[in-house]
Amino acid sequence: MTSKHDKHQQRQEKIKQQVDEKVAQATIEKGLFLVITGNGKGKSTSAFGTVARAVGHGQKAAVAQFIKGGWECGERNLLSTHGVEFMVMDTDFTWETQNRDSDTAAAELVWQQAKQALRNDELDLVVLDEITYMINYDYIALDDVINAINSRPKEQTVIVTGRAAHRSLTELADTVSEVRNVKHGFDNGIKARKGIDW
Q: Which does 197 bind (CB under 5 to 8 A by kind): Mg ion, ligand ATP, none?
A: ligand ATP
Q: Map residues 115-154 to x or -, x wherever contact with ligand ATP holds by CB under 6 A.
A: ---------------x------------------------
Residue nearer to ligand ATP on the CB measure, 42 or 153:
42
Residue 181 binds to ligand ATP (criterion: CB under 6 A): yes
| Beta-carbon contacts of residue 182 (< 8 Å; ≥ 6 apart) | 40
Q: How far is CA 150 from CA 101, 153, 172, 174, in A?
A: 28, 9, 9, 12
Q: Which of 92, 108, 178, 197 binds ligand ATP (CB under 6 A)?
A: 197
Residue nearer to ligand ATP on the CB measure, 5 or 191:
191
Sheet order of strands, 125-129 included: 85-88, 61-65, 125-129, 157-161, 33-37, 175-178
**Nearest CA-CA partner of 44 in 173, 198, 180:** 198
Query: How far apart are alpha carbons 29 and 152 in whole angstroms?
Result: 15
Contact between 159 and 34 under an 8 Å Cβ cutoff? The reply is: yes
Show contacts with Mg ion in window 40-69 (CB under 5 A).
43-44
Q: Which does 163 bind (CB under 5 to 8 A by kind): Mg ion, ligand ATP, none?
A: ligand ATP
Evaluate the CA torsion angle 67, 70, 71, 77 in order and state its sign: positive
Say which DSSP state 19 is in: H
Which window, 9-17, 94-102, 138-146, 176-184, contacts ligand ATP (CB under 6 A)? Answer: 176-184
Residue nearer to ligand ATP on the CB measure, 58 or 189:
189
Query: How far apart are alpha carbons 127 and 97 in whole angstroms?
Result: 23
Which window, 16-24, 35-43, 120-128, 174-182, contacts Mg ion (CB under 5 A)? Answer: 35-43
Name the residues that contact ligand ATP, by CB under 6 A. Answer: 39-45, 130, 161, 163, 179, 181, 184, 186, 192, 197-198
